[in-house]
Amino acid sequence: MADPRHTLAEMARLLASGATSSRELTEAALARIAAADSELNSFITVTGEAALAAADRADAQRAAGKAGPLTGIPIAQKDIFCTAGVATTCASRMLENFVSPYDATVVERLNAAGLVSVGKTNMDEFAMGSSNETSYFGAVRNPWDAARSPGGSSGGSAAAVAAGLVPLATGTDTGGSVRQPAALCGITGFKPSYGRVSRYGMIAFASSLDQAGVLALTAEDAALIMQVIAGFDERDSTCSDQPVPDYTAALEQSVAGRKIGVPTEYFAGLDAACAAATHAALDVYRQLGAEIVDVRLPNLSLAVPAYYVVAPAEASSNLSRYDGIRFGYRAAAADDIESLYKNTRSAGFGEEVKRRIMTGTYVLSAGYYDAYYLKAQKIRQLISNDLAKCFEQVDVIAGPTTPTPAFRLGEKTDDPVQMYLNDIYTVSANLAGLPGISVPCGLVDGLPVGLQFIGSLFDEATVLNFAHVFQQQTDWHTLVPGGAG
Amino acid sequence: MAITRKDIEHIAHLARLEVSDAEVPAYADKLDKIIGFIDTLEQAETAGLQPMAHPLQMSQRLREDAVTATDQRDHYQQNAAETTDGLYIVPRVVE
């Protein structure tokens, strides 16, 4: 009844037919977490009692004929989303004891749709990392190989879904933090356009890049959840009032005659086996009648360095709020306000977060602002222009999500630049604000790799459509760590 | 360019971070790598490009100047390290 690999859509059908209950699904999810998560470390907080109470409410709603299509399905929330009355840590010592007084819009909308949150997932501290190793609560392990990273920053959400603990978890994507862990854990990761989903109550990292997203088993499930969370919210001044289309209705559209742009720059220096997996995936679309077109992104190599100016600059500003006074960790010893700030922030933040605050402070400081920050913003425009030019020719851009499959824990922690280069294929979509998705497209040395689609601004429907069509033709998304199923 | 001890101390102060003497070499080494990496931007041709601060061409939304929030001070202050009579307690700032 509670097959861990049931998708959201399948669970919805089972619930609608009366074949299972929310309590049964929720109890099964909690049991799987209890059995598996001491090794995976994918959750920071498990809210078992509250989840079972919510499940019972969902079952009562269904019995009364008041259930929505997703009422009663257990999911998990990345611990960057504020959840009223529940610890919201952002995987930082700074917020270890922070209990949010309110719900993020994403949380509020999922609760209102009857979804049952079983807990908060582990992540890189303040979402700053590509490996989940910067979490104050310890690294998450990749369900495919416990010695490897699940990717980051939404690594807990990705590992929890890949291991079948929950069918879906929320994530956030500032430079690839949904798509990269999805690729490395063999699941589907979807980042909507900037402004499509409210950032209210989503703890800020880099406000012009941050966007809520979904880690799921299928593109169809991502579309179902997008229908719940997308759309205008007056509490986020950058949330778009563009009408939200019917994402599920668009899933089945034929790709015949449509154009997929593949940037030639994507393949310079790409691992050969990853390149082969990408080409094999593109062949699936050729057979379906899509046209594969070479496009150019001549400034691709500037995307990561530009991102690592803009993101830390915004982070250094956003994280100035952690002063030990109104909320969060406060260092004990301090005789004056200055030492209270410094001691609190030095002990409350981890190494990578402090490094990014320092980088951001440096690029914004007197004498360096023009050379770094302003220059990076111009390059952001250049990259955005290059992508816009591609979309004059093609419907979507496709390529690999990551340069390699999952790397070993500890492999890249000594050299921040090597870690940052993981983001080469993902950051451009954030710089330009575009929607992107990663779908599993093969195995390299027994580890999953992802195919990424990037769409034009607010065209989530096309991205989800291309991903869904692939999952109708291939079985990569049904592969389970360990080989069973 | 090499990041000096003085640079680290200056940046740390601006960011209100305490960096101990023992930590300076590790910070200098890693920040050197990061700055070296972002220095590659310098060669890019950006003449005529407007700096892009944000992905959306939008202007600030305005709303009626009406009271919408209720007083939740006690609720919010539960997350503070130290409060008295609704006030946040900090070390003496004004002598």
pLDDT in tens, A86-139: 999 999 999 999 999 999 999 999 999 999 999 999 999 999 999 999 999 999
CB contact under 8 A, B46 and A457: no
Say which DSSP state A477 is in: G
Helices and strands (DSSP H and E) totals, chain B: 3, 2
- CATH for A77: 3.90.1300.10
pLDDT at A485: 41
Q: Is A244 domain-assigned?
A: yes
CB contact under 8 A, B79 and A326: yes
Name the fold adopted by B5-43: Histone, subunit A (1.10.20)
**What are the tens digits of pLDDT across the range A192-244?**
999 999 999 999 999 999 999 999 999 999 999 999 999 999 999 999 999 99
> Coil, strand, or helix at residue A352?
helix
- A28-33: list long-range contacts, CB under 8 Å, 24+ apart: A28/A1, A28/A2, A28/A4, A29/A2, A29/A74, A29/A118, A29/A165, A29/A166, A30/A118, A32/A4, A32/A163, A32/A164, A32/A165, A33/A118, A33/A119, A33/A160, A33/A165
* Angstrom distance (rounded) from CA B57 to CA B70: 32
CB contact under 8 A, B79 and A377: no
Confidence of residue A4 (pLDDT cuts 50, 70, 90): low
Domain count, chain A: 1
Query: Does A371 have pLDDT greater than 60?
Result: yes
CB contact under 8 A, A305 and B27: no
Q: What are the extents of the domains in chain B?
A: 5-43
- Give residues 4 to 33 of B whose Cβ lies within 8 Å of A: 7-8, 10-12, 14-19, 27, 30-31, 33
CB contact under 8 A, B55 and A326: no
- What does the block give as tokens for A14? 């089972």
Residue with structure tokens 């993981």? A422
Q: Which residue of B has its CA nearest to A336?
A: B91
* Angstrom distance (rounded) from CA A389 to CA B89: 55
Nearest by CB: B79 against A99, A378, A416:
A99
Mean pLDDT of A478-482: 91
Nearest by CB: A337 against B11, B61, B93:
B93
Residue with structure tokens 């305005």? B62
**What are the tens digits of pLDDT across the range A15-63?**
999 999 999 999 999 999 999 999 999 999 999 999 999 999 999 999 9
Confidence of residue A293 (pLDDT cuts 50, 70, 90): very high
Residue with structure tokens 């390529």? A399
The nearest CA of chain A is from the CA of B7 a distance in Å of 9
Q: Is A29 domain-assigned?
A: yes
The nearest CA of chain B is from the CA of A7 a distance in Å of 33
pLDDT at A54: 98
> Coil, strand, or helix at residue A275?
helix
Mutation target to probe the A interface, by most A beta carbons within 10 A, among B17, B29, B72 is: B17
pLDDT at B61: 87
CB contact under 8 A, A417 and B54: no
Query: Does A2 have pLDDT greater than 70?
Result: no
Q: A287 - beta bridge partners?
A: none
- What does the block give as tokens for A442? 């093969």
CB contact under 8 A, A384 and B52: yes
Q: Where are the alpha helices (DSSP H) in A89-204?
A: 105-112, 155-162, 179-185
Of B57 and A158, the structure prediction assigns the larger pLDDT to A158
Annotated catalytic residues of A are 78, 153, 177
Instruction: Yes or no: say if A122 and A132 are a contact pair by the CB < 8 Å rule.
Output: yes
Dihedral over alpha carbons A352, A354, A359, A365 (to 10 degrees): 170
Of A217, A212, A160, residue with least CA distance to A188: A217
CB contact burial A333-366 (16+ within 10 A = b; e otherwise) = ebeeeeebbbbbbbebbbebbbbbbbbbbbbbbe
Cα–Cα separations (whole angstroms), residue A146 to A91, A132, A141, A408, B15: 20, 13, 5, 9, 37
* Angstrom distance (rounded) from CA A453 to CA A292: 13
Query: Does A483 have pLDDT greater than 80?
Result: no
pLDDT at A1: 42
Q: Which residue of A has its CA nearest to B89?
A: A325
Mean pLDDT of A296-304: 97
Lowest-confidence range among A174-183, A266-275, A454-463? A266-275
* Angstrom distance (rounded) from CA A6 to CA A3: 5
Question: Which chain A residues have a beta carbon less than 8 Å from that of B40?
Answer: 301-302, 305
Dihedral over alpha carbons A85, A87, A89, A94 (to 10 degrees): 90
Residue with structure tokens 């909690």? A30
Q: Which residue of A has its CA nearest to B82?
A: A325
Query: Does B25 have pLDDT greater than 50?
Result: yes
Of B61 and A308, the structure prediction assigns the larger pLDDT to A308
Handedness of CA A54, A58, A60, A66 (dihedral sign): positive
Mutation target to probe the B interface, by most B beta carbons within 10 A, among A128, A239, A373, A378 is: A378
Of A363, A352, A366, A350, residue with least CA distance to A317: A363
Q: Which residue of A has its CA nearest to B58?
A: A238
**What are the tens digits of pLDDT across the range B26-80?**
999 999 999 999 999 999 999 999 999 999 988 888 889 999 889 999 999 999 9
Count other Cβ atoms within 10 Å, centred on residue A289.
11
CB contact under 8 A, B30 and A416: yes
Residue with structure tokens 């209890």? A34
pLDDT at A185: 98
Q: Which residue of A has its CA nearest to B7?
A: A362
Mean pLDDT of A314-323: 98
Backbone angles phi, psi at B87, to 5 degrees: -105, 145
- What does the block give as tokens for A128? 């700053």
pLDDT at A176: 98
Question: Which chain B residues have a beta carbon less than 8 Å from that of A380?
Answer: 51-52
CB contact under 8 A, A99 and B35: no
Instruction: Yes or no: say if A319 and B52 are a contact pair by the CB < 8 Å rule.
Output: no
Confidence of residue A484 (pLDDT cuts 50, 70, 90): very low
Mean pLDDT of A304-310: 98
Q: B61 - beta bridge partners?
A: none
Question: Which chain B residues have a beta carbon less than 8 Å from that of A354?
Answer: 15, 17
* Angstrom distance (rounded) from CA A7 to CA A217: 6
